[in-house]
Structure 1
Amino acid sequence: MKNELQGQQATREVSQYIIDYPAFHALREKMERMLRSPDPRGLLIVGDTRVGKTTLAKSVLDVHPKTIIDGTPSVPALYIEIPTIPTEKSIARALMLQLDVTTSRALSEQELISRFARIAEYCRIKLVIIDEFHHFTESSQYPKLLRYANSVKSLMNRAGVSVVLMGLPSSRAILDKNQQLRGRFSSVQHIGAFAMEDTAQFNDFLDVLRALADKLPFENAQELAGELYSPRMWYATHGALGYVKKLLIEAVETSDAANRKLSMALMEKAFTAAIWHDGVGKLNPFNRNFSHNLLDEVGQPFCPDMAF
């Protein structure tokens, strides 16, 4: 029972752990400056799947939680996610729902934003983080993209809040539809996976592995950042932090609770279960016959058009 509880605690800690590597830290500091700025600012953060965008947002929210000051609510930062099939009212409605405010469906988008502007002043909201923003650009034609762009512009103008947009690289398309919005979001930052060929980035990747190894229940967990496992961890995750956590959680959950030890066999099994069900034999980074080729071909997990 004790070993099982240790395993459960380890998976929670790995899942929730925020690793403040240099690029992540720089973006978080930029968002902190936006919170402190008296003038509304815009920032677009783009990156592929599982590189840490949502983790970045939540790290800011953790530092600035909702509180009560002098008897009134204080909500320094507000976070919403855009649904897969958005509407023109998606932003305004999501903001109101996040604040537990019920609104009539008959209200227009501009009426919703006006109401939010009053609430934002009352609740001292300084920063709005809009995640999964690429859903606005998927299968949307020019007229809709223009209206979505105007929604963001209205939010900044009328509510007086800074806005961080987060999404896949396709999110950039919406800035092309509105010159004024493009001026507000002149700062476009990329958050990406760690590159193996870049010495500094790969060293950061090793630091991440060492930090996560401290959370693992394996007696030889620090070997994760060693010569045997670290390059295989990179191939198995393409250097994306979200995949690293997913793989390690699977390894903990499938390991023997009575004798937890990091092994190639364990990681091979975890990769197939958590990352790619067809990743067997020489296509599995933890197999002794692995070819050390990138798993980015069509049908493989890190193919640009098929990543999951």
Structure 2
Amino acid sequence: MNISPNGINIDEALEALAACTVWYPDYREAMRIITKCINTTRHRKDPSSAMLIGPTGVGKTRLCRMIEKDLGPTQQARNSECDKKTWPCVYIELPESATIRNLSVVMAQVLGGKPTDNQSVVILEDFIIQRLVTIEAKLVILDDFHHVAEKGLTKTKSSLCNWIIKLLNRSGVAFLISGSSSAEETIDLVEELSDRFPYRAKLQPLPMADKASTSVLLGVLASLEKEMIKLGHLKEYAHLTDPTPYKAIYLATRGNFRRLSDLLHDSFEIALLRGDYTLKISDFAEAAADLAFCCCPNYFLMSHSQLNFALKFQTNKSSETAKK
């Protein structure tokens, strides 16, 4: 057990911080859209599927896992005739080298099958469809769909689209496809499939905003700071929403949730190991020194005026990139 000098269970505190989810507006809207897809499918008895689109690190997989949890665990139902397993949400993480066959094998395995090398894609499809119907699935999540969408020729992608259409039409189960913009582009290659995905939610890195009333990032930091104060029983701490820490955090993470999570985890761990009920800017500087995305330059070693200059430079650079 990893205990701090002041008696705090460090592992438990870090795990609790990692599990903390801040429901900022776009995240809440994405959940609403996906819930609507499930309900519409249930009402119409016809799959009306959804997409969750955004760059890496914005929290797509976290949201997918939360949806899986909210829909409920696998349950065993018994009646006079047989035992029946119901499985509300089937989560599939696509492999890096995903082909239609590889994807079929992975889905079959997740659904409890034992596919062999000599089984055809057609046989695997039949098994997948039968299992989705039998377990009364409400949603199938295909996460990291860009692993498929970013590879192959247009003809190959069209074949993938037709494969998904077949699963949707024959199972009657809604799908949630999560991935980068290339995932959406692939789905839109075939009009029939595009129409099957009327619900689309998009997540982006949190933008920089100077005014507290318009900054979602400030709200997220305030919530996470509150959680760290509670978990670490902090008595003295750097206010993450003050102008200098706020700008340093934005420049270090660019509003990317994965980077923000890494930075807060490592900084909080340093503070907990010290065990004096404090969280200092120097903790963030020490953490940033080991993180490739923000070690050079280390924004937590800069003055407020230096941060303003760096922020202005970054803004101009982003504007020039957008014009090209």
TM-score by length of 1: 0.86
Aligned pair partner of 2:103 in 91, 99, 111: 91
How many percent identity over aligned positions? 20
> For 1:231-253, what per-residue CA distance to the aligned partner results, in whole angstroms no more than 9, with x for missing partners?
22222111122211111001122
Equivalent-residue separation in structure 2 for 1:26 and 1:34 (angstroms):
13
Report if aligned partners of 1:48, 1:169 keep a CA contact under 8 Å in 2: yes
Are the equivalent residues in 2 in contact too, given 1:272–1:284 (CA < 8 A)? Answer: no
1:286–1:14 Cα change, 3 Å: farther
1:295 to partner: Cα distance: 5.7
Q: Which residue does 2:286 correspond to in 1? A: 269
Does structure 2 retain, via aligned residues, the 8 Å contact 1:113–1:158?
Answer: no
Q: Does 1:76 align with 2:88?
A: yes
Show the 5 A alignment for 1:1-308.
1-2=3-4, 3=6, 5-36=8-39, 37-38=41-42, 39-71=46-78, 72-197=84-209, 203-216=215-228, 217=232, 218-221=234-237, 223-255=239-271, 256-276=273-293, 278-280=295-297, 284-288=299-303, 289-290=306-307, 291-293=309-311
Give the whole-Å Cα distance in 2 for the aligned partners of 1:150 and 1:140.
15
Seen in structure 2, the aligned counterparts of structure 1 residues 200 and 227 have a Cα distance that, compared at 3 Å, is closer
What letter is aligned with 1:30?
I
Moved over 4 A (4+): 2-5, 198-202, 294-298
CA distance in 2, matches of 1:184, 1:112: 22
Deviations 1:157-182 (A, max 9, x none): 11111011111122223124212112
How many residues get paired? 298
Which shows bigger deviation, 155-164 or 216-225? 216-225
Structure 1 spans left out of the alignment, 5+ residues: none
- Name the Cα RMSD after superposition: 2.7
Give the distance between the partners of 1:106 and 1:198, measured in 2 at CA: 60
Query: CA separation in 2, counterparts of 1:286 and 1:295?
Result: 17
Letter in 2 for 1:215: E
**CA deviation digits over 1:106-132, x for unaligned, max 9?**
222232121111111211101011111
Higher helix proportion, which one?
Answer: 2
Q: Deviations over 1:124-157 (max 9, x none)?
A: 1010111111111223111211111112111111
Q: Is the radius of gyration larger for structure 1 or structure 2?
A: 2
Measured at CA, do residues 199 and 96 of structure 1 come closer, stay the same or move farther in structure 2, by a change above 3 Å? farther
TM-score, structure 2 normalization: 0.82
Kept after mapping to 2: 8 A contact 1:77/1:126: yes
